[in-house]
Amino acid sequence: MESLQCDLNYLSRDILADIMARLDGSTLASAACTCSDLHGIARDQRLWKLLCHSTWPSTALKGAQHLISSPPMDCFSRFYADSYPLIFHGDHKDADYFPTQHPHISPSDFASFIDVYYREKCVVSSVLDGIPRTVDSDHVDNETEIGLMSCLLNRPFKMVLSDVSHDEDIENGDLLLSANGKYGFLSLEKTGEPEDHCEELKEGIRLSWVLLDKKKGKAANLSSWKPLLVKKIWATDGEYILHFGCIIPVHENVLPDNVAKCLIVATCYIEETQGYLRWKEISMRIEDTNGTYINGGKNLIILNQALYCSRTNNLHAVEKGYQQFEGLKQEMTRKKKLQKSIADWVCISIEVAILITLGCLRGNFSGLECLVLVLFCHHTLIFFCFLFGMSLSTLCCTRASVTERKDEELVIPAETVVGDEFWVRGVHFEVNLVFVEAAPGF
């Protein structure tokens, strides 16, 4: 039997390269696996360079290309493979998942590529080499660098993109070109009346924040691509806040809850006269399950951990992981309120008991008053026991939901067909053609 061959010798290599330059990353990688002719063309870094420039225009900015083409990253194909899929939150309890040790991590090791899109057009592109407000000068002495590092490691961390807004703008149809030649904002469809544009912004705006470790040659996209939250600030006319980000699993030595949230906040506002969308600030910070900012020392460790997280192209899995984190955050908040209520009632009970004791000893209370106070203390004690029981029950249920039984048999209904989705013990499953697998991120 004659073997099948992929013979493309009749086509010029330049024509094949021009065709493959029009493909997206996943299609280009798939085409490279078909035959040796296409594989050789797909290894051309010029194709991946153009693909990176079209996907993330910030990689084409001055001073950005050498960060990717220089060792240890050394190639655009590797940068694309690391940055295109998004981080999703999974249950990573295995110690082998996390880096065994954290070497000296400096803010200057990282670089960020930020791109914002509106209606599939890039409106903001910027590159941050290092972490601003730490060591952003090439002529810093050792004492100044040590002082800046100490300040970073002992205060809440927040990375701010400060060059978003522009003063000089040139109108170009529906688009406005900023002073540096990049599209800074666009005109909204509905203007001239005080409307809520949250849905329009949620459907139209996309954001990418690629973190690059220049020493390790690894990259990761910290954004969720789509907005996780869009809300209007009614106190200020026409100002909106958009939340992006990802959930990063961390070692328990870093955070006791084994998880942190990388939150990217984009603030924009709409001009009243012309209705143009202007960007005010784009910032990134790390939070724990309590919503507390994490200081710079742990933040660098978490950013380093983000480079090793699992990735997925399933945006649904990313959103579900974020919802899981928000559920855990709400549960922690509820527990804190419950503990605070218990502590308040304990204090009240002690104060009333002391008051009754002193009153009875001094004879200030009559028998009826003492009886009323005793009944009050009795009911207070019952309520305290009830709250304590609720707290203990909640804690046991939470631990039981987290603990997985390895020997539990998964029973699939007989009427299940391909494409069905269902939940078992809080885990999302999807039926494939051959087997049942857990959806990414769960």
Q: What is the pLDDT of residues 171-218, one digit of tens each?
A: 443 344 433 344 444 455 554 556 778 888 899 999 999 999 998 899
Going by C-alpha positions, the residue among 94, 55, 46 that lies closest to residue 221 is 55
Within-domain flag for 382: yes
pLDDT for the residue 114: 94
Query: What's the first-to-final CA gap in the chain, in angstroms?
Result: 46
Instruction: Provide the residue range defining the domain that includes 379.
Output: 331-438
Question: Cα angle vertex 336, ends 340, 231, to 5°?
Answer: 125
Residue 152 dihedral angles phi and psi, to the nearest 5°: -70, -40
Asked if 302 and 392 sit in the same domain, the reply is: no
Average pLDDT over residues 3-26: 74
Asked if 93 and 233 sit in the same domain, the reply is: yes
Tens digit of each residue's pLDDT (9 = 90 or more) over 49-82: 999 999 999 999 988 888 888 888 878 989 999 9
Q: What is the rounded distance in angstroms from the CA atom of residue 129 to the CA atom of residue 108?
A: 7
| Residue 67 burial (CB count, 10 A) | 17
User: To which H or E segment does residue 384 belong?
Assistant: helix 367-402
Alpha helix positions (H), 154-247? 198-204
Q: What is the rounded distance in angstroms from the CA atom of residue 94 to the CA atom of residue 98?
A: 8
pLDDT of 241 over the 90 cut: yes
Q: What's the mean pLDDT when you consider all of the chain?
A: 72
Going by C-alpha positions, the residue among 221, 194, 227, 224 that lies closest to residue 209 is 221
pLDDT for the residue 102: 58
Asked if 25 and 174 sit in the same domain, the reply is: no
Asked if 336 and 309 sit in the same domain, the reply is: no
Q: Under 8 Å CB-to-CB from 18, ≥6 apart: which residues?
A: none
Going by C-alpha positions, the residue among 402, 394, 300 that lies closest to residue 93 is 402
Q: Under 8 Å CB-to-CB from 262, ≥6 apart: which residues?
A: 222, 245, 246, 247, 248, 284, 285, 286, 302, 306
Within-domain flag for 74: no
Tens digit of each residue's pLDDT (9 = 90 or more) over 134-184: 434 444 455 555 555 566 666 667 788 766 654 444 344 334 443 334 444
Q: Under 8 Å CB-to-CB from 260, ≥6 apart: which residues?
A: 247, 248, 250, 254, 286, 287, 288, 294, 302
Within-domain flag for 154: yes
Q: What is the rounded distance in angstroms from the CA atom of residue 300 to the CA atom of residue 306?
A: 10
Question: What total number of domains does the chain contain?
Answer: 3
Alpha helix positions (H), 161-249? 198-204
Tens digit of each residue's pLDDT (9 = 90 or more) over 299-324: 888 999 999 888 888 888 888 888 88
Asked if 150 and 261 sit in the same domain, the reply is: yes
Asked if 306 and 372 sit in the same domain, the reply is: no
Strands (E), 97-251: 110-118, 121-129, 159-161, 170-172, 175-177, 183-186, 205-213, 218-221, 229-233, 239-249
Within-domain flag for 75: no
Asked if 282 and 403 sit in the same domain, the reply is: no
User: To which H or E segment does residue 334 belong?
Assistant: helix 315-362
Residue where a domain stops, chosen among 287, 313, 339: 313
Whether the CB-CB separation of 266 and 114 falls below 8 Å is answered with: no
Within-domain flag for 268: yes
Q: What is the rounded distance in angstroms from the CA atom of residue 205 to the CA atom of residue 118?
A: 5
Asked if 347 and 303 sit in the same domain, the reply is: no
Asked if 100 and 209 sit in the same domain, the reply is: yes
Asked if 188 and 104 sit in the same domain, the reply is: yes
Encoded tokens for 57: 């225009």
Within-domain flag for 70: no
Within-domain flag for 76: no
pLDDT of 228 over the 60 cut: yes
Whether the CB-CB separation of 76 and 64 falls below 8 Å is answered with: no
Asked if 188 and 276 sit in the same domain, the reply is: yes
Asked if 129 and 261 sit in the same domain, the reply is: yes
pLDDT for the residue 139: 43
Going by C-alpha positions, the residue among 327, 331, 86 that lies closest to residue 222 is 86
pLDDT for the residue 283: 92
Q: What is the rounded distance in angstroms from the CA atom of residue 23 to the CA atom of residue 120?
A: 17
Residue where a domain stops, chosen among 284, 313, 342: 313
Within-domain flag for 73: no
pLDDT for the residue 431: 42
